[in-house]
Amino acid sequence: MTISNIEEIKAALVARGEREAAARRRTPRADRHPAPAPVQSDLADLRSLQQADPGMGKLGEILARRLDEQRKSVLARQAQERDAQQAQSDAAAAAATAAINARRAALSILAQPLPSPPVILETPFLIWELPNPDLSIFQGSGTVLDGSWVKILLDTQHTPDGQQSTDFRFYFIWQNETDYYAVANVSSALWLTGTASAIGSSGDFSGNWASLSLEAELNVIRWSGWGTDPVTGKSNDQTPYPIYDQNSYVNTVANLYGFGGDWFNHAKPESMTFDPLTPYELSASLIAIPGQAVTVFEVDLVLEWWFYNDHYETVDNQPQSISLDLASNTNRVLCPQVDLEILTPQSSA
């Protein structure tokens, strides 16, 4: 396959992705809080008691110290988990590579009896962060046969306007070189090696929240040669293919909601270690690609993070934090390939 204007396609995809990333930011889900804050009438009563009874102030100091001890204990445990995970990462990465090679070998066997052998897109022609590369987060990438990767490192205690998002994309491209439609099932996957955590900040009457979500997505872009929409009369080129089953091309990787704790509730930070042997699989079935048409396949990892602290009182020196380490040592996000199962003969017969 030879596509001569690949640099123009890269530039157009980046511009298109910037527009999409700016439009996709969503409002945080406040209903996902694991515990409700006290109602305003309760807060007013407690504040009145605190003003009338000096002992309440002393109680506040005791509870603040308890919250500080809880936080230190949580951070120590997370440090231990990170050390243990890192000690196993080399062996896990080797095992993941072996699993990918075994899958590829199985696909090569399938090529023998099928009228149209599977098409394996082994390397992306572009790896990018949108809406724009942030070099404090984007720690590098590599285009490698059957093992392309990106490294991501997020460590923050602040988000502009309360929330932020970014999107890492692997772009693969294919042209149907026949003059006939090719009906294809498309599949890919992301493998993650690393850790993530969300820790809210402590409060007197009401603690604060930190949230981190990761989502894998597969998008099919009708790039060129796709004709016009029979209903609108507009060109189909550079528009998304309407995939039927959303449950197949979107896969939730993580949803972390960390609560900082207050007088009434214990701190509930959330963290996870990603299993490098567990793929986050993505697929799109029955994609009808016209003869000679060019198609771009996007495999995305979407990050969204935010802090809920609009009106809560915080305890001094108790920072909230969000951490995502997909960069240290062998930590990374791996996207080995995109597979096309061609269901129609690739010939004029």
pLDDT, tens digit (0-9, with 9 covering 90-100), for 213-252: 999 999 999 999 999 988 888 999 999 998 877 788 999 9
pLDDT band, residue 332 (cuts 50/70/90)? very high
- According to DSSP, the residues that pair with 326 across neighbouring strands are 152
CA nearest to 191, candidates 318, 335, 89, 68? 335
Is the pLDDT assigned to residue 333 strictly greater than 90? Answer: yes
Is the pLDDT assigned to residue 330 strictly greater than 60? Answer: yes
- Averaged confidence pLDDT in the chain: 80
Domain for residue 16, yes or no? Answer: no
pLDDT at 54: 57
Spatial distance between the Cα atoms of 85 and 331, rounded to a whole number of angstroms? 10
Most confident of 50-59, 70-79, 182-191, 202-211: 182-191
Spatial distance between the Cα atoms of 228 and 219, rounded to a whole number of angstroms? 20
First to last CA, the chain: 21
Instruction: Provide DSSP, 221-271.
Output: EEEES--B-TTT--B-TTEE---S-HHHHEEEEEEEEEE---SSS--B-EE
Domains of the chain: total? 1
Domain for residue 107, yes or no? Answer: yes
Average pLDDT for 207-217: 91
Q: Are 182 and 287 in contact (CB under 8 A)?
A: no
Is the pLDDT assigned to residue 346 strictly greater than 90? Answer: no
Domain for residue 184, yes or no? Answer: yes
List Cβ neighbours of 108 (8 Å cut-off, separation of 6 or more). none
Is the pLDDT assigned to residue 34 strictly greater than 60? Answer: no
pLDDT at 13: 87
Name the pTM for this structure: 0.76
pLDDT at 68: 66
Could you tell me what percent of the chain has a pLDDT over 90?
A: 43
According to DSSP, residue 147 is labeled T
Average pLDDT for 269-287: 93
Average pLDDT for 130-157: 93
pLDDT digits (tens, 9 = 90+) for 92-130: 666 666 657 656 665 665 555 556 778 999 999 999 999
Domain for residue 25, yes or no? Answer: no
Domain for residue 176, yes or no? Answer: yes
Instruction: State the Cα angle at 286 between 115 and 334, rounded to 5°.
Output: 90
Is the pLDDT assigned to residue 153 strictly greater than 60? Answer: yes
Domain for residue 20, yes or no? Answer: no
Q: Could you tell me which residue, 108 or 300, shows the higher pLDDT?
A: 300
Average pLDDT for 331-339: 96
Domain for residue 69, yes or no? Answer: yes
Structure token digits, residue 14:
């980046």
Pick left, alpha or beta for residue 348 (phi over 0 → left; psi -120 to 50 → alpha; otherwise beta): alpha
Q: Are 272 and 256 in contact (CB under 8 A)?
A: yes
Q: Which domain holds residue 85?
A: 35-342
pLDDT at 231: 80
Average pLDDT for 155-168: 79
